[in-house]
Chains A and B, each alone.
Chain A
């Protein structure tokens, strides 16, 4: 157990260090452009946690990011780089919105599961295309998922401008049935805290259990760590690549679904935003660990939520992009931090 703890610590340290260093570097940038970093960070913090509204906004931003982070992270576990979470979010949202308009006659305990299943299946199927292409046609998933992102965007554009358009000529879908909408926990002004956060929290637990406790998790990890040994052990690489992509896509699809059923009540074009790509950032910072991913999602949502306040305080909002970029750079290049640590240890010994 010691080894595991040690590794876990190492990971945590790398992520924390990366965050800290990036804050320091951003502070230097601020000083260079003549701003006071302390003022900026105070504003950032206040913007993210200072008011009830801010906290609710923060949580609502984090909620889908947790799901896309889990989606990309699960792919990484199988050695797959799912860049297509955005497309899977779109297809999942679209399908759940469509089913959402059909279930008006059912009570919520039927309509809500139906809508969620539709969204997850949509994302899973979309991602499984890339999985299948990789497993049986040798096409790299980075390429195929990027292309599938475009396809998903165009399908969605067509659908909400045509067959599935709400009356009034605006590119958005009709509202989903009331029985398919998630209730709000509370509202402050125009911001509402939806129960969809519980979907994200549940997903963390489910993915954790799948990875740590199940046969599927064992096989997926085996394929991710060492496909040759997996094959030797009778584990089908093809099957697991498709399955891992499908699970990854289901999570992304679920992220889209939560926006439909908990935030907008319908599908519209900009719904996915950049949450699929943010998922990559979050999976990296969270080091593919479900709990780490949850924390990383809150980190990203916090700097995003707080950035407006920082802008008001006179520091350009774009600085948060710098912060985010440096964090990713450092986590990805975690050798840098490891090397610094090893050198320190050596110096301490000498």
Chain B
């Protein structure tokens, strides 16, 4: 075998193969990341990106293949080995202790000590120096739970740097950020790059890839389908490599023809689980045949708002009027019967019963409908026929209705939910985060479906943390911040920056006055 010199690469993964029962998650994957570059790994869900990075970080071990760090072959058996090789990972879900301070979180596990005691002073000093060096400003004594998400992410990054990481892996880092926070993160990443760090970015947002990376590795179905320099490619080409066919990145839609008002929310007040008001006197309305998008950063009352509208959460005060009827105190069942569909934010919590077969999941909410039940017995044959039809119509894969919900991929689980909710001919659809965690192909499908529902005259209330999604689907945009609407606009009369400011708590009229 010929000896190759990998010394100009920070990371080389060669012929990585990882099998899970029934799945070839990584199939002889090669990854080359040059020292000091920002390298993106893009691909659909289930393409094997996170699996690949988990092997680099030692969370799982490859069945085959070799890993070279700075040209030297390394055995990475666990995260400790990875940290020793100066590799750090910032996970999609932060690994922070909410009740502890920033300093305490950062040094956790590697606390500086003075004799038998924790040396808080030294820890604080070290962290001040670190954050100054990299432009990662954060108050070392703040308690994590008081910090906004963007700040928490900084803490995660400092934590990784504190452990001496030269190579940083970031898994979908912008999923939870506002556009402003995203820009700040990019500044930080560029700064890190200037200081000689190498960064690997897992993402599915192609515009971000274009904005800050030098090169891209595209994965599909466990294989590498392309390695390109960012400056030599474009989002469309990347999307095609990811999906293996032509994809439309923006939805084509006609102008909306809104009809009468179907949903009105008046001065709604809803509390979150800890008893604090999360929706604070919010009003909005949705007309037939239009999509009203609610833009906002996660945790600003969206969950409570949609749960209140669909009847899953108690309303403290205010009114919800649907089809002219006050439904504020109606059960979820009654709202369903009146024609309210719901694509929930958390599909595994609310939308799907993982241990039910697909054909049972297709009738959730309609299981006592005379179509599927004679009052006592389920009409199993009819249910199966109905399910076969939906599976075909919505291209659920694999097309097996006996499969348990948990055995479908995220995209196909979402298709099951969307199919079910559409099948019952709702007049209003409350849609929350419909494409979270889905791949480009599934997103395209869900978006097209929502537009065609709108064109059939269904009113749609769309809640999304993805500003791009809000812009491409909505006919009207409302921005939510701390349980209040900051302003209403339409996609053609605003910019992502303006909506981003509203999402950060600025009222629309104030923004426009200042401008």
The contact string, 1 if C-beta is below 8 Å from chain B, for chain A 201-228, is 0000000000001111011011001101
Cβ contacts under 8 Å, A213 to chain B: 377-378, 380
Q: Which of A218-247 contact B (CB under 8 A)?
A: 218-219, 221-222, 225-226, 228-236
- Which of the four size classes fits the interface of chain A? 20 to 34
- Which of the four size classes fits the interface of chain B? 35 or more
Q: Nearest chain-A residue to B333 (Cβ)?
A: A234
Q: Are B332 and A229 in contact (CB under 8 A)?
A: no
Q: Which of A1-55 contact B (CB under 8 A)?
A: 1-4
Cβ contacts under 8 Å, A214 to chain B: 376-378
Cβ contacts under 8 Å, B333 to chain A: 234-236
Cβ contacts under 8 Å, B337 to chain A: 234
Q: Are B331 and A234 in contact (CB under 8 A)?
A: yes
Q: Are A229 and B349 in contact (CB under 8 A)?
A: yes
Q: Are A232 and B377 in contact (CB under 8 A)?
A: no
Cβ contacts under 8 Å, B376 to chain A: 214-216
In the bound complex, how far is the Cα of B356 from the Cα of A3, in angstroms?
A: 12
Q: Are B356 and A222 in contact (CB under 8 A)?
A: yes
Q: Are B353 and A225 in contact (CB under 8 A)?
A: yes
Q: Of the 9-residue stretches B30-38, B230-238, B401-409, which lies at the interface with chain A? A: B401-409
Q: Are A3 and B407 in contact (CB under 8 A)?
A: yes
**Nearest-CB distance from A52 to chain B (Å)?**
41
Q: Which of B49-66 contact A (CB under 8 A)?
A: none
In the bound complex, how far is the Cα of B380 from the Cα of A1, in angstroms?
A: 14
Q: Are B331 and A229 in contact (CB under 8 A)?
A: no
Q: Are A225 and B354 in contact (CB under 8 A)?
A: yes
Q: Are B349 and A222 in contact (CB under 8 A)?
A: no
Name the contact of A231 in the complex, choosing from B332, B334, B407 (C-beta under 8 A).
Answer: B332
Name the contact of A226 in the complex, choosing from B332, B353, B400, B402 (C-beta under 8 A).
Answer: B353
Q: Nearest chain-A residue to B336 (Cβ)?
A: A234
Q: Are B377 and A215 in contact (CB under 8 A)?
A: yes
The contact string, 1 if C-beta is below 8 Å from chain A, for chain B 303-338, is 000000010100000000000000000011110110
In the bound complex, how far is the Cα of B342 from the Cα of A216, in angstroms?
A: 23
Q: Are B407 and A229 in contact (CB under 8 A)?
A: no
Cβ contacts under 8 Å, A218 to chain B: 360, 367, 378
**Nearest-CB distance from B312 to chain A (Å)?**
6
Does B173 have its Cβ within 8 Å of any Cβ on chain A? no
**Nearest-CB distance from A281 to chain B (Å)?**
23
Q: Are A229 and B350 in contact (CB under 8 A)?
A: yes
How many A-B pairs fall under 8 Å by CB?
76
Q: Are B368 and A231 in contact (CB under 8 A)?
A: no
Majority secondary structure of chain A interface residues (helix, strand, loop or mixed): helix
Q: Nearest chain-A residue to B337 (Cβ)?
A: A234
In the bound complex, how far is the Cα of B403 from the Cα of A228, in angstroms?
A: 21
Does B365 have its Cβ within 8 Å of any Cβ on chain A? yes
In the bound complex, how far is the Cα of B307 from the Cα of A228, in angstroms?
A: 11
Cβ contacts under 8 Å, B228 to chain A: none
Q: Are A232 and B354 in contact (CB under 8 A)?
A: no
Does B352 have its Cβ within 8 Å of any Cβ on chain A? yes
**Nearest-CB distance from A206 to chain B (Å)?**
12
Does B344 have its Cβ within 8 Å of any Cβ on chain A? yes
Cβ contacts under 8 Å, B336 to chain A: 234
In the bound complex, how far is the Cα of B378 from the Cα of A214, in angstroms?
A: 5
In the bound complex, how far is the Cα of B404 from the Cα of A4, in angstroms?
A: 9
In the bound complex, how far is the Cα of B368 from the Cα of A229, in angstroms?
A: 16
Cβ contacts under 8 Å, B352 to chain A: 226, 229
Cβ contacts under 8 Å, A228 to chain B: 349-350
Q: Are A225 and B378 in contact (CB under 8 A)?
A: no
Does B351 have its Cβ within 8 Å of any Cβ on chain A? yes
Q: Are B356 and A225 in contact (CB under 8 A)?
A: yes
Does B275 have its Cβ within 8 Å of any Cβ on chain A? no
Name the contact of A225 in the complex, choosing from B332, B355, B407 (C-beta under 8 A).
Answer: B355
Does B375 have its Cβ within 8 Å of any Cβ on chain A? yes
Does B364 have its Cβ within 8 Å of any Cβ on chain A? yes
Q: Are B364 and A3 in contact (CB under 8 A)?
A: no
**Nearest-CB distance from A138 to chain B (Å)?**
14
Name the contact of A229 in the complex, choosing from B310, B364, B400 (C-beta under 8 A).
Answer: B364
Name the contact of A236 in the complex, choosing from B331, B349, B360, B402 (C-beta under 8 A).
Answer: B331
Cβ contacts under 8 Å, B344 to chain A: 232
The contact string, 1 if C-beta is below 8 Å from chain A, for chain B 366-401, is 011000010111101000000000000000000010
In the bound complex, how far is the Cα of B354 from the Cα of A228, in angstroms?
A: 12
Name the contact of A215 in the complex, choosing from B312, B368, B404 (C-beta under 8 A).
Answer: B368
Q: Nearest chain-A residue to B307 (Cβ)?
A: A232
Q: Nearest chain-A residue to B342 (Cβ)?
A: A232
Known: A226-B352, A229-B351, A232-B351. 9 other contacts (CB 8 A): A3-B402, A215-B373, A219-B367, A222-B353, A222-B364, A226-B355, A228-B349, A229-B350, A232-B332
* 11 CB < 8 A contacts A-B: A213-B378, A213-B380, A214-B376, A215-B376, A225-B354, A225-B355, A232-B312, A232-B351, A232-B365, A233-B332, A234-B332
Complex A-B, nearest 8 residue pairs according to Cβ-Cβ distance, in ascending order: A234-B333, A233-B365, A233-B364, A232-B350, A225-B355, A215-B373, A226-B353, A228-B349
